[in-house]
Amino acid sequence: MRILPESGITNEMICQTQVELLEQQKQEYKLIGSMRKVPGHTLFSFNVQTGEIKPVKLVREASIGLDGKPVFKEKITVEKDCYYEQALNRKNFIKRLKRRGLVERVKE
How large is the average pLDDT for residues 79-84?
Answer: 90
C-alpha distances in Å from residue 91, one per residue of 38, 48, 60, 105, 106:
17, 17, 26, 14, 11
Res 53: pLDDT = 94
Average pLDDT, the chain: 82
Q: What is the pTM of this model?
A: 0.64
Closest to 53 in 3D by CA, of 82, 95, 88: 82
Residue 46 to residue 3: CA distance in whole angstroms: 56
Dihedral of the alpha carbons of 12, 15, 20, 24, in degrees to the nearest 10: 170
Q: Could you report the per-residue pLDDT of 14-34, keeping only the tens digit for each?
A: 666 666 666 666 666 677 778
β-bridge mates for residue 53, sequence order: 46
